[in-house]
Amino acid sequence: MTTLGAVPQDDIDRLQARVNALEHERRHLLAVIEILQEIGGSLHFVDIVQAVARRLGEAFGLDRSSIFLTERGGRTVRLVASYEDPSIRNYVVDLDRYPELRQALQTGQTVHIDDVTTDTTLRHVRGALMTRRVKSITVVPITWRGAAIGAIFLRTFRDGAPFSDADVRFCQVVASLTARALRNAHRFERLQERKGEPAPLRSRERERAALVGYLRRLLDAFADREGPWVEDALAKASAEEIERLVGVTMAVLSQEATGR
């Protein structure tokens, strides 16, 4: 009969570490599903960025979870969502105060500062970060077609759980989902604009263009004819015939305007 010896402690530790890693991954997957469910049901960018900031803040128990978006050309950056202060919606930020945010937006690469007390780029704000007991900062760019259109900005507490490589990868997945949701919201807003007032406006512009073209060709045709312009000729035409010609003209213009 063979007796199994005691399991070495190293094997137990490795097994426990693996179990912990799987549990960590499970929580990440559940969080991704919850974020997808929430932002997938909205086509308004304010709801999307607020949901992402809140979900990440709750998932990691963060000091700060914020979403920044750049304007066209990247000259202005705005804070559009904040986990710790949901009332913030459209605040222009000074990138000189956020060198880590500037770096992420310029390079399109994730910036992770494991310990803010040792990073030289944060000397000017180290006192404020120490007061808030900040441990690490992670900035994940939100990119679309190779360009950074914004960033997810995360700060952990000094006495909180450290940000692992798996956590950073999870946030990169969330940033990718956020970029797609924002683009869908942008397309929806553009579609709504086209369905609203601008659509009749374009139709009226086509009518005017067709009218101008018609009158121009009509005047050219009269200019090519010989003989003086006699005002008395107008009196000889019947009112009914003029009305009929106007009706035919407007019918033609309507068809031209609709493109048929």
- CB burial of residue 176 (10 Å; 0-12, 13-18, 19+): middle
Distance between CA 126 and CA 212 in Å, rounded? 68
pLDDT of residue 105: 94
Q: What angle, rounded to 10 degrees, do the helices at 198-223 and 165-195 form? A: 50
**190-201, pLDDT tens digit by residue?**
777 776 645 444
**49-86, pLDDT tens digit by residue?**
999 999 999 888 898 999 999 987 667 899 999 998 88
**Residue 204: pLDDT band by 50, 70, 90 thresholds?**
low
**134-184, pLDDT tens digit by residue?**
999 999 999 988 899 999 999 999 888 888 888 999 999 999 999 989 888
- Under a CB-based contact definition with an 8 Å cutoff, are residues 178 and 69 in contact? no
Share of the chain above pLDDT 90, in %: 28
Domains by residue range for the chain, with CATH = 10-194 (3.30.450.40), 197-225+232-258 (no CATH)
Contacts of 124 (CB under 8 A, 6+ apart): 97
Q: Do β-strands 64-70 and 77-82 pair in parallel, antiparallel, or remain unpaired?
A: antiparallel
- Which helix (H) or strand (E) element contains residue 149? strand 147-157
pLDDT of residue 183: 87
CA distances from 240 to 214, 237, 250 (A): 21, 9, 15
pLDDT of residue 82: 93
pTM, rounded to two decimals: 0.66
